[in-house]
């Protein structure tokens, strides 16, 4: 696990000092070593966290004649099988690590070599004879990559702060991106918050050659090819075996390894599989809150005791908000998933004991674990009602208000009711939105509204929705989430939280084999009425305690409702009503004050307030301040 940077110029040499500065800005991702490769017109850099081949695997890695160089952020799980095949083809290896297989695969297969890789990765490969840069990202988007093409010069980096070490990368804010941020809580790929800066999308290879930039998507799940299920028990066994294989693949490590344990279904299943596959007690790490309804530590403790793990716990207090400036700096874009707070603390705790941690990420997106899936199926059934009835129902639902609990039955009913008059993708997008289209329009000043295309945000959902391979509504929503929410929110959150502490996170539920198996299971086996993850729960029964399998999903929720009415009340007013914030010309003062006052009066606006807080803090860090140049240390 590492951080990578680079630049390729069509005219003139690459400045070695720039590559060093970009690397220095990523030192937290890979504190163990730095490597650079700079030659006429091209430069690569790597900050390495040593996990496999600790002593001999420093990068860049070269082909036998040194004409091809590569830097890798991530892990290639099938590198041993690939190495055997490549050695039989006559290739000579100098290291025992995973990165070197990429160079030799490229020599055999060209840019299409990425299809042979099983892992989580973003890599950059420079082919000097062809003057070709090849950059690729893993199938689901575990590892990030930002890039900017300006006047024939392509610069790229694992994090925004490193990319902005290049003074030629623009820092002009893109209004459409901030509109999407308020709609989804993150800026969806390929956009970033800055005009002219982009994210490489998951499962995509990018080639820069002869001044031309091309993209190719090399993988996607197929929800249209379904299993013919005659014995549900057989499906359960296939799920368990696929999970066991995925976990074993992710236990390859030359450094200490453990697991995040939330007490939910997915992380418990991962720990169960780890306990089977290892002879030593699994080291597990959990985090909780003092507020009882948000605290899952007792459930995690139950699983830890069942599997005899070496267990560690941490409790987050309201002063945990003090790390938000650090969060903002690491994310590089406005990011509104408040579970980034406990994720940051959990990563810090875990890194004191291990270098690699497995987690349960991805189970919800494969096996239908979110309430929004069931709610949207219900909403689709309401589409059969006459249009006037649906419009009237939506109007009534809009007047229900909030009882202060975002996950309450009343609030769920309100969201379903409000969506009755909408088409399917818009209904789904609105269900996920901190600020829907009406709320954003009420929030913006007239001047800012004129800069925003109202339909732009929902195209983020409508595009993948209309391209979905599945027929069942549940499968369409799962496929949309795998392409949008999963890489844009969940995986970005975990990557930044862990890599900020030089911790590698691995996700067995994101194994492509397991994901395709889940995609091929009939939709009705995943969601039944309001019962979620049906087939996964059945598969795990007898392996995981029933109390864990049958309790309601809680998620990594943060007690912002209480914090914003208590210890952090003044902080929200001070930041969001500061003249600096209001003078940006984006948000109306009366609308912001109305949110804050309404929350104090009993409505639950905590998610919206947090979303605006993170936006304002990002603007102070990345828009108001001049770019901070990282101080490079000597390479090596």
Summarised one tens digit per residue, pLDDT across range 352-408 is: 999 999 999 999 999 999 999 998 998 887 666 555 555 555 555 555 554 444 445
Residue 197 · residue 170 · CB < 8 Å: yes
CA distance 223 to 476: 8
14: left (phi over 0), alpha (psi -120 to 50) or beta: beta
Q: Is residue 438 part of a domain?
A: no
**CATH code where residue 279 lies:** 3.40.50.620
Residues 6+ positions from 126 with CB-CB distance below 8 Å? 6, 8, 37, 42, 44, 68, 69, 70, 132, 133
pLDDT tens string 192-202:
999 999 999 99
Q: Is residue 106 part of a domain?
A: yes
pLDDT at 7 > cutoff 60: yes
- Same domain? For 170 and 60 the reply is yes
Q: Is residue 376 part of a domain?
A: no
Q: Is residue 203 part of a domain?
A: yes
User: Could you tell me the two tokens for 215?
Assistant: 């993209």
Q: Is residue 476 part of a domain?
A: no
- Same domain? For 102 and 208 the reply is yes
CA 571 to the chain's CA centroid? 28
Can you spell out the DSSP letters for 487-526? IIIIHHHHHHHHHTTT-EEE-GGG-HHHHHHHHHS-GGGT
- Same domain? For 238 and 309 the reply is yes
Residues 545, 547, 548, 549, CA torsion sign: positive
**CATH code where residue 136 lies:** 3.60.20.10
Domain of residue 94, residue span: 2-180+188-217
pLDDT tens string 453-493:
766 888 999 999 999 999 999 999 999 999 999 999 999 99
- Same domain? For 263 and 344 the reply is yes
Helix (H, G, I), strand (E, B) or coil at 318: helix
On the 0-12 / 13-18 / 19+ scale of CB atoms within 10 A, 298 is: exposed
Split into its structural domains, the chain has a count of 3
Q: Which of 500, 515, 550 is the last residue of a domain?
A: 550
Q: Is residue 294 part of a domain?
A: yes
pLDDT at 52 > cutoff 90: no
512 or 11: whose pLDDT is higher?
A: 512
Residue 54 · residue 140 · CB < 8 Å: no
CA distance 192 to 161: 13
- Same domain? For 504 and 569 the reply is no
- Same domain? For 107 and 194 the reply is yes
pLDDT at 189 > cutoff 90: yes
What pLDDT score was predicted for residue 173? Answer: 95
What pLDDT score was predicted for residue 56? Answer: 79
What pLDDT score was predicted for residue 285? Answer: 96
Task: Give the CB-side neighbour count of residue 508, counting CA atoms within 13 A.
Answer: 30
* Rg over CA atoms, the chain: 24
Residues 298, 304, 308, 314, CA torsion sign: negative
- DSSP conformation class of 620: I
Residues 6+ positions from 280 with CB-CB distance below 8 Å? none
pLDDT tens string 319-344:
656 778 888 999 999 999 999 988 99
What pLDDT score was predicted for residue 432? Answer: 84
- Same domain? For 6 and 51 the reply is yes
Q: Across the chain, what does the average pLDDT equal?
A: 90
Kindly provide the residue ranges of all beta strands, DSSP E only, lying in 426-485, ordered along the sequence: none
Q: Residue 561: count other Cβ atoms within 10 Å of its Cβ.
A: 21
Q: Residue 195: count other Cβ atoms within 10 Å of its Cβ.
A: 16
Q: Is residue 430 part of a domain?
A: no
On the 0-12 / 13-18 / 19+ scale of CB atoms within 10 A, 232 is: middle
pLDDT at 318 > cutoff 80: no
- Same domain? For 66 and 171 the reply is yes
Residues 6+ positions from 114 with CB-CB distance below 8 Å? 136, 205, 218
H or E segment to which residue 232 belongs? helix 232-249
Q: Is residue 305 part of a domain?
A: yes
CA distance 131 to 117: 23
Q: Which of 550, 579, 603 is the last residue of a domain?
A: 550
- Same domain? For 595 and 539 the reply is no
What pLDDT score was predicted for residue 403? Answer: 44
Residue 486 · residue 203 · CB < 8 Å: no
CA distance 198 to 208: 15
Report residue 231: phi and psi, to 5°: -135, 100
- Same domain? For 205 and 343 the reply is no
Q: Residue 343: count other Cβ atoms within 10 Å of its Cβ.
A: 24
pLDDT tens string 130-186:
999 999 999 999 999 999 999 999 999 999 999 999 999 999 999 999 999 999 999
Residue 42 · residue 19 · CB < 8 Å: no
- Same domain? For 573 and 546 the reply is no
Residue 23 bears catalytic tag? no
CA distance 370 to 551: 14
Q: Which of 519, 550, 581 is the last residue of a domain?
A: 550
- Same domain? For 112 and 169 the reply is yes
């Amino acid at each position: 696990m590492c951080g990578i940077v680079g630049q390729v110029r069509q005219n003139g040499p690459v400045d070695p000092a720039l590559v060093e500065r970009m690397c220095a800005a990523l030192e937290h991702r890979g504190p163990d070593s730095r490597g650079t490769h700079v030659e006429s017109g091209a430069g690569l850099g790597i900050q390495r966290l040593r996990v496999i081949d600790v002593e001999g695997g420093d990068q860049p890695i070269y082909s036998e004649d040194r004409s091809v160089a590569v830097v890798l952020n991530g892990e290639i799980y099938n590198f041993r099988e690939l190495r055997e095949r490549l050695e039989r083809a006559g290739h000579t290896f100098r290291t025992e690590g995973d990165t070197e297989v990429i160079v030799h695969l490229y020599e055999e297969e060209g840019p299409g070599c990425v299809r042979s890789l099983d892992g989580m990765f973003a890599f950059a490969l420079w082919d000097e004879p062809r003057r070709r840069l090849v950059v690729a990202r893993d199938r689901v988007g575990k590892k990030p990559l930002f890039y900017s093409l300006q006047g024939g010069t392509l610069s790229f980096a694992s994090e925004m702060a490193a990319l902005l070490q290049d003074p030629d990368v623009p820092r002009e804010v893109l209004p459409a991106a901030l509109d999407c941020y308020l709609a989804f809580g993150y800026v969806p790929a390929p956009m970033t918050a800055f005009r002219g800066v982009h994210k490489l999308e998951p499962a995509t290879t990018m080639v820069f050659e002869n001044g031309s930039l091309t993209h190719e998507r090399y993988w996607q799940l197929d929800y249209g090819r379904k299993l013919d299920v005659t014995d549900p028990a057989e499906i359960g066994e296939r799920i368990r075996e696929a999970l066991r294989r995925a976990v074993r693949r992710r236990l390859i490590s030359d450094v200490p390894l453990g697991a995040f344990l939330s007490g939910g279904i997915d992380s418990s299943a991962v720990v169960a599989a780890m306990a089977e596959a290892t002879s030593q007690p699994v080291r597990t790490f959990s985090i909780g809150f003092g507020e009882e309804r948000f605290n899952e530590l007792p459930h995690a403790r139950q699983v830890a005791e069942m599997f005899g793990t070496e267990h560690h716990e941490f409790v987050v207090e309201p002063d945990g908000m003090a790390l938000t400036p650090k969060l903002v700096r690491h994310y590089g874009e406005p990011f509104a998933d408040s579970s980034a707070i406990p994720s940051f603390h959990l990563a810090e705790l875990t890194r004191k004991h291990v270098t690699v941690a497995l987690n349960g990420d991805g189970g919800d997106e494969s096996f239908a674990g979110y309430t929004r899936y069931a709610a949207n199926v219900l909403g689709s059934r309401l589409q059969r009602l006459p249009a006037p009835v649906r419009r009237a129902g939506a109007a009534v639902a809009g007047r229900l208000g909030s009882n202060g609990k975002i996950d309450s039955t009343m609030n769920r009913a309100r969201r379903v009711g409000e969506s009755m008059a909408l088409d399917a993708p818009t209904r789904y997008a609105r269900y996920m939105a901190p600020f829907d289209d009406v709320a954003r329009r009420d929030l913006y000043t007239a001047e800012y509204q004129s800069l925003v295309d109202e339909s732009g945000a929902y195209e983020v959902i409508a595009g993948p929705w209309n391209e979905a391979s599945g027929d069942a509504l549940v499968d369409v929503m799962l496929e949309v989430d795998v392409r949008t929410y999963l890489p844009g929110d969940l995986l970005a959150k975990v990557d930044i939280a862990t890599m900020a502490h030089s911790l590698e996170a691995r996700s067995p539920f994101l194994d492509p084999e397991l994901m395709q198996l889940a995609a091929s299971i009939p939709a009705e086996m995943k969601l039944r009425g309001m019962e979620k993850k049906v087939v996964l729960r059945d598969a795990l029964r007898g392996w995981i305690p029933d109390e864990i399998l049958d309790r309601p999903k809680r998620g990594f929720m943060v007690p912002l409702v209480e914090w914003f009415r208590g210890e952090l009340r003044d902080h929200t007013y001070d930041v969001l009503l500061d003249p600096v914030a209001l003078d940006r010309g984006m948000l109306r003062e009366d609308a912001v004050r109305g949110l804050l006052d309404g929350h104090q009066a009993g409505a639950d606006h905590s998610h919206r307030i947090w979303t605006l807080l993170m936006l304002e803090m990002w603007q102070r860090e990345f828009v108001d301040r001049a770019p901070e140049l990282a101080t490079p240390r000597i390479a090596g």
